[in-house]
Amino acid sequence: MLIQHPADIRPSEITPAEVYRGRREFIRAAGGLALAAGLGARVGEVAAAKLTGSRPGPFGTREEMTPWKDVTGYNNFYEFGSDKEDPARHAGSLRPRPWTVRVEGLVRRPGDYDIDTLLGLAPLEDRIYRMRCVEGWSMVIPWVGYPLDALIRRVEPLGSARYLEFTTLNDRAQMPGLRYPLLDWPYTEGLRLDEARHPLTLLAVGLYGETLPNQNGAPVRIVVPWKYGFKSAKSIVSIRFVEKQPLSAWMKAAPREYGFYSNVNPEVDHARWSQAKERRIGEFFKRKTLMYNGYGEQVARMYSNLDLRRYF
Ligand X SMILES: Nc1nc2c(c(=O)[nH]1)N[C@H]1C(S)=C(S)[C@@H](COP(=O)(O)O)O[C@H]1N2
How far apart (Å, rounded) are the C-alpha atoms in residues 310 and 292? 16
By CB under 5 A, what part of segment 72-101 binds Mo ion? 76
By CB under 5 A, what part of segment 165-224 binds Mo ion? none
Contact mark string toward ligand X, 56..95, x via CB under 6 A: -------------------xxxxx----------------
> CB 272 → ligand X: shortest distance, Å?
15
Contact mark string toward ligand X, 96..135, x via CB under 6 A: -----------------------------------x-x--
By CB under 6 A, what part of segment 165-224 binds ligand X? 168, 187, 216-217
Please state the separation of Cα 40 from the chain's center in Å: 23
> CB 253 → Mo ion: shortest distance, Å?
13
Q: How many residues bind Mo ion (CB under 5 A)?
A: 5
Per CB under 6 A, the segment of 44-52, 232-240, 263-271, 281-289 that binds ligand X is 232-240
One residue of 87, 217, 225, 229 binding Mo ion per CB under 5 A: 229
Name which of 103 and 133 has its Cβ closer to Mo ion: 133
Name which of 128 and 233 has its Cβ closer to ligand X: 233
Across the strands, what pairs with 101?
113
Specify whether the backbone of 108 is left (phi greater than 0), alpha (psi in -120 to 50) or beta.
alpha
Interaction between residue 230 and Mo ion (CB under 5 A)? yes
Q: How many residues bind ligand X (CB under 6 A)?
A: 17
> Of Mo ion, ligand X, none, which one does residue 241 interact with (CB within 5 to 8 Å by kind)?
none
> Of ligand X, Mo ion, none, which one does residue 187 interact with (CB within 5 to 8 Å by kind)?
ligand X
Query: Residue 51 class from Cβ within 10 Å (0-12 exposed, 13-18 middle, 19+ buried)?
Result: buried
Residue type, 83: D
* Nearest residue (beta carbon) to ligand X: 229
How far apart (Å, rounded) are the C-alpha atoms in residues 141 and 7? 29
> CB 204 → ligand X: shortest distance, Å?
9
> CB 84 → ligand X: shortest distance, Å?
9
> Of ligand X, Mo ion, none, which one does residue 238 interact with (CB within 5 to 8 Å by kind)?
none
> Of ligand X, Mo ion, none, which one does residue 214 interact with (CB within 5 to 8 Å by kind)?
none
Three state DSSP letters for 234-262:
CCEEEEEEECCCCCCHHHHHCCCCCCCCC
In the chain, which ranges are E strands? Answer: 55-56, 100-105, 111-114, 125-132, 137-147, 163-168, 188-192, 202-207, 210-211, 221-223, 236-242, 277-280, 287-288
> CB 168 → ligand X: shortest distance, Å?
4
One residue of 174, 214, 232, 248 binding ligand X per CB under 6 A: 232
> CB 150 → ligand X: shortest distance, Å?
21
- The DSSP call for residue 294 is G
Q: Which long-range contacts (CB under 8 A, 24 or more apart) does 218-222 make?
A: 218/91, 218/94, 218/96, 219/96, 219/97, 219/99, 219/115, 220/99, 220/101, 220/115, 220/118, 222/148, 222/166, 222/189, 222/191
Query: Residue 129 class from Cβ within 10 Å (0-12 exposed, 13-18 middle, 19+ buried)?
Result: buried
186 prior amide bond cis, ω within 30: yes
Residues of this chain that interact with Mo ion (CB under 5 A) are 76, 133-134, 229-230
Residues of this chain that interact with ligand X (CB under 6 A) are 75-79, 131, 133, 168, 187, 216-217, 229-230, 232-235
